[in-house]
Amino acid sequence: MSSQTSESPPARTAKPLFPATTGILRFVFSRRMLYLLIVMSTLLAIAWQVENWRGRARWEKTKAEILATGESLDWRTFVPEALPDEENAAMHPVFDVTIVPQEPTQRNGGYAFKRDFEPLEKRYFSNIPGDLFRRESHAELDFWWRNVCDNSGIEQPPESQRQAQEILAATRDSEAGIELISEAFSRPGCHWFPYHEQLEDDGVLRISQVSQFATVSQGLAAATFIRALCHLENDDSHAAATELLTSLHFSQSMNDRSIIGTLVNITTGDIACRHLPLLLSLPEWSEQDLKAISDCLSDSEFLDQLYQTLCRTRAAGVYYFNALINGDQWAIDQVAEMGKHREWPQSKLLRAELISALPRGWLYQNMNNLTTRGLSINLQHYDFESKRIVETQAPKPPTARDLSPYNFLSSSPDPDLWKVFKKSAIVQSQWDLCRLLCALERHRRVHGELPEKLEALVPEFLTELPHDYVTGLPPHYRIGAGGEAELATLDWEKTGNPETFLCRVPSSE
């Protein structure tokens, strides 16, 4: 029996379940992948360093250009020197009711007190129709007698001098407040809030305080306007001027260099001067009192204050970016907090972990954008030396398409901020026109008639003429059919037509 040799079949190799995955894994753990990672890491590190170098170099160039103009990027240079309490109008006893002690904390800027202006308004001006004063332009005693003394139902009012006496009696509390505030503002300066080496305090708290300040200013302006009418009816020009000057001084005293504080100062200046042309048109003023009012009006600096506030805000922005570049956690947390509460296209990107991981060069680029396009767009529209607005078109609002790694943390041109610039120019022009009215009336009394040209007022009644803050030209002036002065300024659209100017006396309202 022959033996048969049987051969066993060859072993079958199992196929991988996922061939593609196996290939990928082999590549991932291969030497080629290691080389690729080394090359990519090197290129990324080089790109990172290049971005850091480019950003820092661009910022250093921009900073040198700004400093060469004489402007400062240190926010502390914009903090005024502290005043002793005895020289500070805000620390006068009449304002004790506004001082509320508090425990100094980092959140409130280390301040030992805050200001609550509401008790001051209630104590002295609660019976003054401030809202009516804002809406209505009346120089008739009968109108204010009915509203201040609650005599709206009386058909036959008494003669005007009796009305004046009753209004003065009804506003006796306001008189006491006006006298004390006038005494306070005889002091050299006024700082409502203490200044510390703290960059910012609680924004919500500050907004609340300065908003209450505007309410007091409105009550004071209404009280002094109404009482001035009564004093002029009684031939007491000096009393009318003294009270009116108190309102004008108070309205300019909010020297807080925050955007909110400056906006409130502009608002109170508007309120204090809104109905002043009506008062100045009355013949009972003495020449001495007209000069005192004119001198007070010449001290207004609404445009300059806004410009300085924007410079200070820009310097504060530089301070924050330097803190971000240095990796200060408080600055990173504050930017992240802003992203939670602001409706910006980039708000979702403002996260602490993302900000911490950014190249320092991108932060330098953002700081550069802040100083060249953000706040500086508005700063560049105003020439501080010539007191001229060189551009009247608002910057375009930012969109999501405008965002890039070089600007998503920095302020883009803000059209709302530009509206504040325009409003400050209007209020400044209003004060200038009132100053011209004082000078024109003084010229009439000395020479018996109004001048043919405004240039005749210099130097006898004015050291220099105010100018249009857009065109640089003197205000438009002519003598009306009734012999009254007609003035117009602020040719915002550069039409040359006085009917389109933003500020006119008599008002077009």
DSSP secondary structure string for all residues of 87-149: GBGGGSGGGGGGEEE----TTTTT-SEEE--HHHHHHHHTTS-HHHHHH-----HHHHHHHHT
Q: Which residues is 504 bridged to in the sheet? A: 488
- For residue 397, whether the previous peptide bond is cis, meaning omega lies within 30 degrees of 0, is no
CA distances for 249 relative to 176, 181, 256, 269, angstroms = 17, 10, 15, 9
The pLDDT of residue 338 is above 60: yes
CA distances for 23 relative to 18, 28, 30, 36, 38, angstroms = 9, 9, 10, 17, 21
> Alpha-carbon distance 321 to 331, whole Å?
8
Which run of H or of E encompasses 383?
A: strand 382-383
pTM of the model: 0.83
Which of 169-173, 192-196, 260-264 has the lowest average pLDDT? 192-196
The pLDDT of residue 415 is above 70: no
Identity at 104, one-letter amino acid code: P
Q: Are 125 and 174 in contact (CB under 8 A)?
A: yes
Please say whether the dihedral angle defined by the alpha carbons of residues 250, 504, 508 and 284, taken in this order, is positive or negative. Answer: positive
pLDDT tier at 99 (50, 70, 90 boundaries)?
confident
The pLDDT of residue 198 is above 50: no
> Alpha-carbon distance 307 to 310, whole Å?
5
pLDDT tier at 323 (50, 70, 90 boundaries)?
confident
Mean pLDDT of the chain: 83
Q: Are 507 and 137 in contact (CB under 8 A)?
A: yes
> Alpha-carbon distance 177 to 216, whole Å?
11
**Which is more confident, 256 or 503?**
503
Residue 63's pLDDT is: 92
Residue 459's pLDDT is: 93
> Which residues, in sequence order, are CB contacts of 89 under 8 Å at separation 6+?
184, 185, 186, 187, 189, 190, 253
> Alpha-carbon distance 415 to 419, whole Å?
6
pLDDT in tens, 74-95: 888 887 788 899 999 999 999 9
- Mean pLDDT score, 261-281: 89
What are the boundaries of each domain within the chain? 81-285
The pLDDT of residue 24 is above 70: no
Which of 121-130, 298-307, 325-334, 446-455 has the lowest average pLDDT? 325-334
Identity at 297, one-letter amino acid code: L
Nearest residue to 217 via CA among 274, 147, 269: 269
> Alpha-carbon distance 356 to 350, whole Å?
10
